[in-house]
Every structure is written in C-alpha cells, then in structure tokens.
Structure 1
Amino acid sequence: MYKHLYQRFLEAHPHELHFACHSHHYWPDVSRDAHIQYWDDSARYVDDKWAHIFSVKVPHAQQLIAEVLNISHPEQIVFAPNTHEFVFRLLSSLDWKKNIRILTTDSEFYSFDRQINRLSEMGNFEVIKVPTLPFETFHERFEAEMARGTWDLMFLSHVFFNSGLVCDVHRLALKAPQGSMFVIDGYHSFMAVPLDFSSLQDRVFYIAGSYKYAQGGEGACFLYVPPQTRHRPFHTGWFAELSHLSAVGNQVGYPQDALQYAGSTMDFSALYRLIAVLEKFKSEGLNVAKIHQVIKDNQQTFLASLEKIQHPVLNRKNLFISASATAEHGHFLTFECPSVEATQALVRQLKQAKVQTDSRATRLRFGFGLYHDHSDLLELVHRIGTLA
C-alpha cells in the first residue's frame, strides 16, 4: 500500500526482503530531495546558513515532533547527531562531587548502557538495573525500586530494543519521586508506538531520533527538556551560546530553553531529511496510530502464516510477547533462540535466502515497515520454510 514512498531503496534491492527496519530503516524517496536541498541551501546562504537553519528549519522540525508527541512547548526540543551526546549531557548535569544513584533496566540500548557501565566503575556511581523479565511483574518491581531511597536519575525505554516489549511509561513516570531526573528513551518507539506526552511534559525528559521509525536516517536525534529545567551540564557546546555569541567571555552562561542541552556543530542534512519525511507522512494521512495499526496487521499476518510451517525455532513458543491480549508491542518481533551460535547461524541462513534480519545475543529480531505488503509477508514465511 505504501511501497510508492520507498521506490529508490526498493529498486536498489529487488530480490531482498528487508526485515531489519527496526535497525536500518529504508528511507522514503523524499529524503533524497531534502538531502540535496541542504546542499543547495548551503550554497545559497553560505555564512548565513546557521541563521537560516536555526530560524527556519529547527522551529519547523520542533513543531512537527511536538505534533507527534502532543507537546505544547516545541521550543523545548534540542537536536544533536546522536543520543549518546544527550545521555552524557544529562549525566553531566548531576553533581559528580557526591554519590550518584541511577535506576534503570537491564534492557537499555548501548548508548546509555555502556556509558553507565563505565561510570559504575567509579566509586561514587551506584547503578541499579531492574530486569525486564518476567515482564508481567516488571512495572511493580520498578515501582518498588523507585520507592527505595532517592535517585538522581531514572532512565528507561518506552520500547525495549532487545524484545519489542512496551513499557507503560506514563504509569512509572507519574509515580516517580519528585526531584529526580526522569528520562524516557523513545528511540525504538518514536513514530511507531503512539505516545501522548502531554501529561508528562512538565517534568520528564524524552530522547529519540530519526534513524529508526522516523525514517530520516542517522544524524538527527533530539531531546525534549521540561520547561522549568535550569541545568548547567558540564558537557556543553557553543550552540548553547547562540543567543549572545558576540558577548561571550569567560563566564559560562546557559539559556533557559532547551538550548541549555545544546552541543556543537553538526550536519543538519539529517534534520532536512526528517522534516521531509514527517511532512510526507502528514500528506499521506499517516499519523502514528495509523502506522502502528498497519504494522500490527502485518505482524499478525506473518505469525498466522508462520504457524503453518512449524519452524523449530521461529514459532510462538519462542516469541517475546506480553501475556496481555491488549498489550502493545513495538514494530519488531523477537524470538529467543537456543544459543548465540544458533542465532547467528539462523541470521546467516536467512541472509543467504536474501532475508535481512538482525540479532542481539540469543534474540533474533524481525522488523516490519510500511514498505511490506501481504505478498512480502507470505514470501518471508516461504523462505523461512526452506530453512526448516
């Protein structure tokens, strides 16, 4: 139904079934024109490029993102090339001269998990990770940890990258103790799983980017900063001085909007691509709820067809899925394999059959996108059947 949006990528891979779109999503055709527009604007504005970007392009992108999340403060969104910049900037807002306590899960993406693992080697960092499994009791266990003492930072994903399970971030954020920094990682849910952020926007931080389901490619990540935030992260860049560059001296000032979390020079072509894709989705009538329904329907078609071939590993028994029939799930399905070696072997076999997937340890992931139709799903199951 929506293949027409992705003709260039599809034509480049005519025989491949790409089911790794949670990892490397195909880009809609409009992103190419946007990429070229960035070059043309660079030639047109030259030294005035930054003024154009920050007065026109950044507000446009902020407004589009705010519409998706139902945020009433689009100016509280700041951009960076990757989420790790924001992770470390958030951490650098804490007082490192004292003991720092961090509450998170055992299923956070590497941009956060690697960094806190390294910091936990320092004597003044205490990191508690709540296991996401068994998921039926996850929220109760996380709430119990929140109630134990005080936390400097609480960080968890909306959709867990290694399972596709969806966290009830409203429930946990609203029960979090006041005075603690609460951060939601929306990287694997933004433009995939609907989220009304309006009730959280006054106290919760939100990180996401365009590489996954926003489909604008790498390089355009963003952080939503609650309006009353007054932080002075020691990991800071010259973009935070944009409002008074001509008066910069030895004093380090910080703006009162989201730019207090700004970094430095970046390639804004990614922002052009993100804007183009979000505008195209609007013109096609594709809001997050509709996109999510299309993907859910495709997932159910895939699972129903998969049951008929009775694959020894890729079956419902090994599927990560919530016990609740009404629970939402991310846009990829995750299967638990017997071992890391078995998982990697299956990935290789699928790749030989021209089926692109990916894995994390013993978990094999199938991602679903708007460029899949019914025939793609049936062909996928057929190719899996040849491996059994």
Structure 2
Amino acid sequence: MYQHLYQRFLQANAGKQHFACHSHHYWPDVTRDAMLAYWDDSARLVDHKWQHIFSERVPHTQQLIADILNLPKPEQIVFAPNTHELVLRLLSCFDWQQPLRILTTDSEFYSFSRQVKRLAEWDSVTVDYIATEPFASFEQRFCQAAAAHHYDMVFCSQVFFNSGVAINDLSAFVQKLAASTDAMLVIDGYHGFMAVPTDLSQISERIFYLSGSYKYAQAGEGCCFMAVPADNHYRPLYTGWFAEFGTLSADKTAQVQYSSDGYRFAGATMDFAALYRLEAVLSLFSRQGITVPVIHQYVQGLQQQFLAQLAALQHPLINTARLLCADVQQHGHFFTFRLDSSEQVASLAAALQQQGIETDYRANRLRFGFALYQLAEQFDLSCLKHI
C-alpha cells in the first residue's frame, strides 16, 4: 500500500524482513532528493544559504511539525543535531552547585539517563526513579511521586524505548503533573512523534517536548527538535550563537541576551541536510494525506497480524507470555519480548538475522518494530519452528 514511497531502501534490502524500524527506520525516496537539494542550495547560495534556511526551510519545517502536534506557535520549535544537546541545555538552566532534584523513570533513553546518572555523582544532585512496571499503575504512581517532593525537573517518555508501552492520554497525564508540581516538565516524545497521535494544544505552555527525525519521522539522524513553552524565562548556561537571533544588534557588554521564541534554547552551526530530509518527508505525507492517525491505524493492523502468526507458531520464547504488554492500544509501534538473559536474546537475534529477519535488542529485551513499508501478507515467521 505504501511501499512505493520506499523503493530505494526496499531494493537495497531485498529479501529481508525489517522489524528494526524503531531503531533505524527506512527513509522514503524523497529524502535522496532532499540531500541533493541541500547540496545544490549550498553551491548556488554559498554564504547566503543561511538566510534561505532560516527564512524559508526552518519556518516551513516548524509549521509542518506544529500541524502534526497541534502546536499553536510554530516559532516555539527549536532544532538541534541530537536530543542530548537539548537535554543538556535544559539541565544547564539550573545551578548545579545548588541542590537540584529530578524525578524520572527507570526506562528513559540513554541520552537522558546517562547524563543525569553522571550528574547524580555530585552531592548537590538527587535523581529519583519511578519504575514503569507494573504499567497499569505507572501514571498514578508517577503523579503521586511528583507531588510528594519539590522537584526542579520532571522527565518522562511518551513511549518507553525499552518496552514500547505508551502513555495513552499524554495531555491528561501532563495536566495531572502540572497540578501537583511547578517543576520544569519534559516529555521525551522520540518514540511517539509520527507514530502515536499526539495533540499538545492544551499543554504546549507547560511542557518541553523532545523528538527528532531518526525514528518514526523517517528522515534519518541529525535533526532533533524541542517544542518550548512560550514566555518562559529560562537562561540556559549551555548556549550557542543561534540563541542570539533577534538580538544580534544588542549591546554585547550587557547581560547575555536570548531569542524571544524557541530559539532561546538553540545551539550553534549544524548540518541542515537532515532538516531538508525531515521537511521532505513531512511535506510528502502532508500532500498525500498520510496523517499520524492513518499511520497508527495501519501499524496496529500489522501488529495484530504479527500476534496472530505468533499464536499459531507457539514459540517457547517469542510469545505473548514474554511480551511486556500485549494490548496494542497501549503501545507505540514496536513490541518488546523479555527473555531470560542478554546472551539468550543476542543468540536469538543472530539466528533470526541469518534467516533474513532484522530485529533489535537491548540487554534481555528483543524488539520487533512495524512500519508503513511492511505488508502483513509478507510476514513470514515460519523459521521460528526451527530456532
């Protein structure tokens, strides 16, 4: 149905069943043209390309993202090469020599979890972790924890990278948090953006929302973004000259100035080829009416077909008993199976790869992802009978 959009990647990987799309998603063909367009603009405009990028490409991409997330102010979106840069910029809003307390989960991606673990080596920094399991009570337990202490930052994923479990109603969840704490609220939406229908209109003035192009936005690495609450007064210590846009004529002997929009959290010069790719993919989907609800419904159909095949095969390891959450209504676009050990997972993933089935794993968790370029009728898991 949608395979014609991905011909180059599909041809380059003929004979494979690619279930690692939550890790490295195939790119639509338009991304190749976008890469060439960036080169051509650089050759044609040279130094003047920056005016073109910031007056046309960036605003257009901001608007495309704002339309998807129902954000009222596209100018509040800022770009960076990776989410770690944005995470560190948020953390740098606080004085690390003074007591700093952070609430998060035990299931955050490494760009955040590694950084705060390192920060917590300082006596002044305390990080409290709430277990995501049992999933059924997580939201209640997390909101209760947020109200129990004074926190400076509260950080949580929309879809947890190590399980695929999603917060069903993000807006309601954030509103509960906001009612119990005045902390900086940060949502990692990397596995939710362009996968799970997301409406930020009611919470855009309260959260920092992080995501990027590498996963379900299908545009590859190098272009992450953050939706920033309007009228905030944070002054990140980790700041670059892009954050001075709109204030470049100010007196440089005065206090460091910041942009009045989302670029308050900007860094410095980056390779905008990735933004060109993201713009191309989101423009393609907009033209063809491929909305996030359309994508989500299609993927949920794939997931149901996948589970039906597993039920018929009765594999001792890859089965619904090992699936962390079997309810597709509470899921992002990948399934996670918990096995007995990391060695067992690595061995099974290698055996599947030999049969042309690409998966992805972390420790003792094996992950299968789903995407528009898959067809349910082409799923063939029969090799599991012999593995």
TM-score normalised by structure 2 residue count: 0.96
In structure 2, the residue corresponding to 1:199 is in which secondary structure?
coil
2:220 pairs, out of 209, 217, 222, with 217
Q: Name the amino acid aligned to 1:221.
A: C
2:176 match: 175
In structure 2, the residue corresponding to 1:364 is in which secondary structure?
strand
2:207 pairs, out of 204, 222, 233, with 204
1:156-175 to 2 correspondences below 5 Å: 156-167=156-167, 168-175=169-176
Q: Distance in 1 between matches of 2:251 and 2:210?
A: 29
1:239 match: 242
1:357 match: 359
Q: Deviations over 1:9-65 (max 9, x none)?
A: 010011111110000000000000011000000111111111110100000000000
In structure 2, the residue corresponding to 1:327 is in which secondary structure?
helix
TM superposition shift of 1:376: 2.3
1:48 match: 48
Gaps of 5+ in 1: none
Q: Distance in 2 between matches of 1:49 and 1:214?
A: 25
Aligned length: 383
TM superposition shift of 1:309: 1.1
1:249-288 to 2 correspondences below 5 Å: 249-251=252-254, 252-288=256-292
1:1-388 to 2 correspondences below 5 Å: 1-167=1-167, 168-176=169-177, 177-245=180-248, 247=250, 249-251=252-254, 252-321=256-325, 327-377=329-379, 379=380, 381-387=381-387
Bigger shift: residues 313-322 or 68-77: 313-322
TM superposition shift of 1:250: 3.9
Identity %: 54
Q: Name the amino acid aligned to 1:336.
A: R
Q: Distance in 1 between matches of 2:181 and 2:126?
A: 19
Bigger shift: residues 244-253 or 23-32: 244-253
Q: Deviations over 1:344-382 (max 9, x none)?
A: 1001101111111010111100001111002322x2x12
Q: Distance in 2 between matches of 1:287 and 1:74?
A: 18
Q: Name the amino acid aligned to 2:142.
A: F
Q: Distance in 2 between matches of 1:196 and 1:259?
A: 22
| Native 8 Å contact 1:207 1:221 kept in 2 | yes
Q: Deviations over 1:240-271 (max 9, x none)?
A: 12224355624411122111100011000100
Q: Name the amino acid aligned to 1:239.
A: F
Q: Distance in 1 between matches of 2:251 and 2:51?
A: 18
Q: CA RMSD in A?
A: 1.3
Bigger shift: residues 162-171 or 287-296: 162-171
TM superposition shift of 1:305: 1.1
| Native 8 Å contact 1:230 1:256 kept in 2 | no
Q: Distance in 2 between matches of 1:32 and 1:384?
A: 36
Gaps of 5+ in 2: none
In structure 1, the residue corresponding to 2:286 is in which secondary structure?
helix
TM-score normalised by structure 1 residue count: 0.96
TM superposition shift of 1:283: 2.0
Bigger shift: residues 4-13 or 237-246: 237-246
| Native 8 Å contact 1:210 1:219 kept in 2 | yes
In structure 2, the residue corresponding to 1:270 is in which secondary structure?
helix
| Native 8 Å contact 1:169 1:184 kept in 2 | no
In structure 1, the residue corresponding to 2:211 is in which secondary structure?
strand
